[in-house]
Homo-oligomer: A and B are copies of this chain.
Amino acid sequence: MCKSIGWTIAEWKEAQTNSSYEEARHRLLDLVATFKDYKHGDPAWITVASTEHINKQWKELQLMKKNPESLPLYGVPFAVKDNIDVIDFPTTAACPAYLYIPKEDATMVRLIKEAGGIVVGKTNLDQFATGLVGTRSPYGKTPNTFSDKHVSGGSSAGSASVVARGLVPFSLGTDTAGSGRVPASLNNLVGLKPTVGAFSAKGVVPACKSLDCVSIFSLVLSDAQLVFNIAAHFDKDDCYSRRFPQRPLKSFGPTPVFAVPETPLWFGDELNPALFDDAVERLRQQGVKVVKIDFTPLFDLAKCLYEGPWVAERYAAIKDFVQNRKEDMDETVYGIVKQAENFTAADAFAYEYKRRAIVRKIEEIFSSIDGLIVPTCPLFPTMESVAKEPVTVNAHQGTYTNFVNLADLSALAIPVGFRKDGFPFGITLISQKFNDYALLDMAQKFLPASRPLGALPKDKFTAKKGDLLASSIVDNMPRTIPLAVVGAHLTGMPLNWQLQKVEATLARRTKTADYYRLYALANTVPTKPGLRRVLPSDTTLRGEAIEVEIWDVPYRNFGEFVSMVPHPLGIGTIELADGKWVKGFICEQLGYDDAEDITKFGGWRAYKAETTQNLESKPF
């Protein structure tokens, strides 16, 4: 057995950067020497990298003349699903007759190579990525890594298999309707299905071009995060590529609200329900507020994918094949894609309207929740059951995955443990588009350090710190700035509307530290106070604690608020009674030099109450 089996990216990177050029190259050659392709007994690999493949990539890596330390994936091996182009490797999409030699790397592969990654092989799939089982391939049925009698799940069967066995730390799959999540669940892996368009699909054989996502399989969470960071870039050459927001949500905060199906569908599986309930309970204990909702709109959307015209996208992608090369296609796949001929353009538009109407309902659901918790798939199917009912079992497996891309949601499949029969079970966390980072953060809090990795020996391989994310993600950009207001901006005072206008919210009422004096500024309309900090060491002019309100001002609107603050006031930094410093109103000296010192009132509100009373009590 190869020494590098079960290494994560961090372990690979450390080994490779601490090795000589030759040692590092040989480590990769030694690795691929242990691989067998489908012809030699391992249906997970359609093509294994040759010595030439490795040497050429290694040379190109060196030609970049980058410091190995600076390359996050320096010399790290990875596998690529065989519907994604890698230069010098044939692309087959698991259809031998479809084989072509691509002239360039898919954008995703290029980005990972530029970060130092080395492709060590192309993996098997349900032909043309049509399936969630992993058995629809002339290159062989990829078995589950826990049992030869069970399916690996698909369509990214091989990419899941080689990671679960620890041959590579991560691999690329694709995921249109669950192809990146189902195999992750069935092989105890992390499966990251990004927001549609976050990863480029250029150089990928289309399944449903409007829904296709490249996906990531990894043993540990931080590896999925690392590859996500490397790969999430806008690609102008992919017409479905989208720019990721500059400041995406990075955490759902301490008490996320997630929904589970009111009545989960299990299609007869007897072991998974208990594991799902247990996982939900663990999430609840970690502070997640779990609510039950009616999944009808989501299931309706999933149904659209199977009943509706999206299959015509597959047809459009391989038209010539379906029309003229039936004998060269997998029978089940042909049967599915052929159905596209039953749909007219009018049907395509009618279903798009239907999709949008259902998505509106889903948007309403998401207005009160952060996301969904679902079983990744309901079944752990045997080879036999799939052979018997290839379409039905496949459809059942897509129950919780099919609707995700149609509804433009992000999803992260994670392992949660093992059934009584020793087979793994996983759940998927789902949220709105571009919440990919927040999902990673939620998973990080959930996954135990002791969890076993993939199908590796449980005593030797556990997650340890591998699920802890790099801090760049955990550091959550605060969305508001606390601001101490002292005068006309207080609740009920004449300028409080300015805080309302910038959507600020009152956080708390408190006092400043004991080092402030308050003045009633002359000639200001409405009248305003000026706050002056004195030195704590000043014995001649002692400060006192002044009443303030702390308002949370949204970052994006803070500029608008500051622009409304008039001379001689400004926004500086104020010390509060609890010793914390926050942004707050300060005053230039010339503002209070000749002003009335009203410190004794302890605050603007008390001063105003007093002076207003005096006005009212006058006899005229």
Most buried by B among A315, A340, A533, A588: A588
**Could you tell me which residues of chain A, from 146 to 164, have a CB within 8 Å of some CB in chain B?**
none
Residues of B with C-beta under 8 A to A565 = 572-573
Known: A559-B559, A583-B563. A345 touches B309 (CB 8 A): yes
Name the residue of chain B whose CB is nearest to the CB of A350.
B316
A568 on the B face (CB < 8 A): yes
Distance in angstroms between the alpha carbons of A357 and B554 in the assembled complex = 37
Given contact pairs A319-B346, A348-B349, A349-B316, A588 touches B559 in the complex (Cβ within 8 A): no
Alpha-carbon distance between A554 and B563 when the two chains are bound, in angstroms? 12
Instruction: Report copies per complex.
Output: 2
> Across the interface, do B570 and A573 meet the contact criterion of CB distance under 8 Å?
yes
Contacting pair B567 A559 (CB below 8 A): no
Answer whether A209 and B357 are a contact pair too, CB < 8 Å, given A567-B572, A588-B533, A588-B586: no
A341 sits at the interface (CB 8 A): yes
Q: How would residues 529 to 546 of chain A score, 1 for a CB under 8 Å from any chain B CB and 0 otherwise?
A: 000111100000000000
Cα–Cα, bound, A319→B532 (Å): 75
Q: A360 — which chain B residues lie within 8 A by C-beta?
A: 236, 239
Q: CB of A558 within 8 A of chain B? A: yes
CA distance A590 to B239 in the complex (A): 58
Closest approach, in angstroms, between the C-beta of A522 and any C-beta of chain B? 12
For the complex, is A607 an interface residue (Cβ under 8 Å from B)? no
CA distance A319 to B353 in the complex (A): 15
A309 to B343, CA, bound (A): 13
Query: Does A312 count as interface, using CB distance less than 8 angstroms?
Result: yes
In the complex, the chain B residue whose C-beta lies closest to that of A308 is B345
**Chain B residues, Cβ within 8 Å of A232:** none
Nearest-neighbour CB distance to chain B for A317, whole angstroms, equals: 9
A15 interface contact, C-beta 8 A? no
Given A563-B481, A586-B586, is A568 in contact with B533 using a C-beta cutoff of 8 Å? Answer: yes
B586 touches A349 (CB 8 A): no
Per-residue interface assignment for chain A, residues 352 to 396, with 1 indicating a CB less than 8 Å from any chain B CB and 0 otherwise: 110011011000100000000000000000000000000000000
Would A349 and B209 count as touching, CB distance under 8 A?
Answer: yes
Q: Is A599 an interface residue (CB 8 A)?
A: no
28 of the cross-chain contacts (CB-CB < 8 Å) are A209-B353, A210-B352, A239-B353, A239-B356, A239-B359, A312-B345, A312-B346, A312-B348, A343-B345, A344-B345, A348-B348, A481-B563, A533-B590, A535-B590, A555-B560, A558-B562, A559-B562, A562-B562, A562-B571, A563-B583, A565-B572, A568-B572, A569-B572, A570-B573, A570-B586, A571-B572, A572-B588, A586-B586
- Interface residues, chain A, with chain B CB atoms under 8 Å away: 209-210, 236, 239-240, 309, 312-313, 315-316, 319, 340-341, 343-350, 352-353, 356-357, 359-360, 364, 481, 532-535, 553-560, 562-563, 565-573, 575, 581, 583, 586, 588-590, 593
